[in-house]
Amino acid sequence: MNATPPPIPPHDLFGRPLRDLRLSLIEACNFRCPYCMPAERVPDDYGLDAASRLSLDEIETLVRAFVRLGVRKLRLTGGEPLLRRRLPELVARLAAIPELEDLALTTNGALLAPQARALREAGLRRITVSLDALDPGLFRALSGGRGEVEAVLAGIAAAHAAGFAPVKLNCVMQRGVNEDALFPLLEYARRHGHVLRFIEFMDVGTCNGWRRERVVPSRELRDRIHARWPLRPLQPHYRGEVATRYAFADGKGEVGFVSSVSEPFCGDCHRARVSADGRLYTCLFAATGHDLRPALAEGEAALARHVATLWSQRADRYSELRGTPVAPRRHVEMFLVGG
């Protein structure tokens, strides 16, 4: 006897709908940030096998299937998404899906300067650039010896000039590593009208040597910032917004905090992740993914039914279980699912 198919749009076992999709376009990266893809663990030629990636046609079908299930926000990521060929063409195809309300991209910014305008013209609405330090030597070390901060700053300026306003900046603060970058980064963001978000250092993947002592809790950062530039809490834009946002009382923009270690937000987690080779991860800390390619080969409707079934069986809440005996121990690598 066939099981009853799940309703569309589906809800998971905790009643959470599916609203956001993070789609990795490529598993390769031109950086080797030690907290994500340490050089000593990931060889230089990792992820360059284009044949294993979903094609542009497959990506469009996949996104349309997720949209049928209620996804309204899509973020393109990687690896480094700007390494993906024909990216503006892909963006234009995805931007043409009418139900998608938000189309964003996260990048390390090293290759952004020459591509920012084409991405904007293709219909990309928002861009986030990762920036953990302004000091050239520290930046280089944090990129695993691969990145130059000047190129990233040029990319951010080009994005701003192309009409991304504001540009969002992601910073992962690590105790004893880049804490001194706090005020220089804030001064830079305030001066240029960019929005800085601090993400707590997370125990993603299996190879970044995470230790709780290295996490700088958002509350501590917020208090340090507030002592220098008073902050005022902002209302969330929508339920389940990941960042807690504050406005600078002097009117010079806002700052956000993503506190998945110190203040888990699994209860409102409406996000699915798909790797570049078409595997669905229902949690950033899931051990394994579900191969979507067989259902994808049958088309949009079949894939939507399949994903609805998988989502309706979801019970992930790793950040609420972290440190307890029942917390899963194996996690997918961050560079496969893109954060």
Cα separation, 307 vs 65, in Å, equals: 9
Measured at CB, which residue is nearest to ligand SAM? 339
107 interface partner picked from ligand SF4, ligand SAM, none, CB below 5 to 8 A per type: ligand SAM
CA 159/CA 307 separation, integer angstroms? 34
Task: Provide the Cα torsion 25, 31, 35, 40; round to 10°.
Answer: 110
Instruction: Report, in Å, the least distance between residue 200 CB and ligand SAM.
Output: 7
Q: How far is the CB of 337 from ligand SAM (least distance, A)?
A: 8
Please report, as residue ranges, which positions from 94 to 123 form the binding site for ligand SAM (by CB under 6 A).
106-108
Residue 232, H or E segment: strand 231-233
244 vs 319 by CB, closer to ligand SF4: 319
Burial label, 32 (beta-carbon count in 10 A; 0-12, 13-18, 19+): buried
155 is an interface residue for ligand SAM by CB under 6 A: no
Largest Cα separation within the chain, whole Å, is: 65
12, 20, 80, 132: which one binds ligand SF4 (CB under 6 A): 80
In the complex with ligand SAM, the residue whose CB is nearer, 68 or 201, is: 201
Q: Which of residues 210-249 bind ligand SF4 (CB under 6 A)?
A: none
Smaller CB separation from ligand SAM, 53 or 68: 53
Residue 283 binds ligand SF4 (CB under 6 A)? yes
Helix or strand or coil: residue 81?
helix
Q: Is 257 in the site for ligand SF4 (CB under 6 A)?
A: no
Contact between 307 and 316 under an 8 Å Cβ cutoff? The reply is no
User: Which of ligand SAM, ligand SF4, none has residue 170 at its interface (CB below 5 to 8 Å by kind)?
Assistant: ligand SAM
Give, as ranges, the residues between 291 and 320 that touch ligand SF4 (CB under 6 A): 316-319
In terms of CB distance, is 47 or 253 closer to ligand SF4? 47
- With H, G, I as helix, E, B as strand and everything else as coil, classify residue 113: coil
Cβ distance to ligand SAM smaller for residue 36 or 177: 36
Interhelix angle 218-228/182-192, rounded to 10 degrees, is: 60
Question: What does the block give as tokens for 126?
Answer: 């928002």
Nearer to ligand SAM among residue 6 and residue 109 (C-beta): 109
Nearest Cα to 323, choosing from 174, 184, 210?
A: 210
**Dist. CA 131–CA 54, nearest whole Å:** 28
Decide if 148 contacts 131 (C-beta within 8 A). Answer: no
Tokens of 89: 């063409």
Contact residues: ligand SAM, CB under 6 A: 29, 35-36, 77-78, 80, 106-108, 130, 170, 172, 199, 201-202, 204, 208, 334-335, 338-339
List residues binding ligand SF4 (CB under 6 A). 29, 31-33, 36-37, 78-80, 108, 130, 260, 265-266, 269, 283-285, 316-319, 335
